[in-house]
Amino acid sequence: MPSRPKKIPAHKDLEEILVSEAQIKRRLATLAAEIDKTYAGQELTVIAIINGALLFTADLIRLINRPVRLDCVRVSSYRNSTTAVTEPQLRSNLTLDIQNRHVLLIDDILDTGKTLAMVVDLISGMNPASVRTCVLLDKRGRREVAFEADFAGFEIPDRFVVGYGLDFAERYRNLPCIGVLKPALQNPPEWA
């Protein structure tokens, strides 16, 4: 099947595609290679921040040629709006023991930095052998706390995006690409 031109939305609710399905696929292969190299000879414990990192993590770990243990934490800070409304809060905790383990924490997007800073603090307190972070998207311009990811897929401008795990009011996570919603669809009252 021919790949879609970048500017033609894959979904009627998107006004623009920022990262296409093909671009995601290509970048995941190089990210996995960087991760393999960093963890040569070691086992990783991947911790995905769900729901956002679900699709990214599932695709990425299948490209990693190292032994991987997988766990998830749930953090929420967004309600049904396109701006953060609460400080990030842990809603469900780890089940694996991570003491003396090499932890790779995965999130969908690094925005203000508050979520990853909070979870890294939490994990660091559990005496892992190491903690690194990996994000699919990095909105550098939005940082409120100093934070850099060890691995980052794409740098994107300060726009609210959906797709490939990222949601607006829990919708659009299943889109294969990452794009910007049409303005009229942001904050519809019926999506409480």
Residue 115 found at the interface with ligand IMP (CB under 6 A): yes
Other CB atoms within 10 A of residue 30 CB: 11
Cα(75)–Cα(78) distance, rounded to whole angstroms?
A: 9
- Only one of the segments 22-30, 64-72, 77-85, 122-130 lies at the binding site for ligand IMP (rule: CB under 6 A); that segment is 77-85
Asked if 111 is an active-site residue, the reply is yes
Residue 160 found at the interface with ligand IMP (CB under 6 A): yes
Residue 128 found at the interface with ligand IMP (CB under 6 A): no
Residue 152 found at the interface with ligand IMP (CB under 6 A): no
Q: Which of 88, 128, 153, 179 binds ligand IMP (CB under 6 A)?
A: 88
Q: Which of 52, 128, 153, 179 binds ligand IMP (CB under 6 A)?
A: 52
Q: Which residues ranging from 25 to 64 are in contact with Mg ion (CB under 5 A)?
A: 52
Nearest distance in Å: CB 175, Mg ion: 14
Nearest distance in Å: CB 82, ligand IMP: 7
Largest CA distance in the chain: 52
Task: Tell me whether residue 104 or residue 108 sits nearer to ligand IMP (CB atom).
Answer: 108
Contacts 24+ apart (CB under 8 A), 137-141: 137/19, 137/108, 137/109, 137/110, 137/161, 137/166, 137/178, 138/109, 138/110, 139/109, 139/110, 139/111
Task: Tell me whether residue 64 or residue 105 sits nearer to ligand IMP (CB atom).
Answer: 105
- Only one of the segments 5-13, 16-24, 28-36, 113-121 lies at the binding site for ligand IMP (rule: CB under 6 A); that segment is 113-121
Q: Which residues ranging from 163 to 192 are in contact with ligand IMP (CB under 6 A)?
A: 166
Q: How far is CA 107 from CA 40, 88, 114, in A?
A: 22, 13, 12
Cis? peptide before 51, omega within 30° of 0: yes
Q: What is 142-153 written as a DSSP string?
A: G-SS----SEEE
Cα(73)–Cα(78) distance, rounded to whole angstroms?
A: 15
Query: For binding to ligand IMP (CB under 6 A), which residues are involved?
Result: 49, 52, 77-78, 84, 88, 107-115, 160-161, 166
User: Catalytic positions, please?
Assistant: 111
Query: For binding to Mg ion (CB under 5 A), which residues are involved?
Result: 52, 78, 167
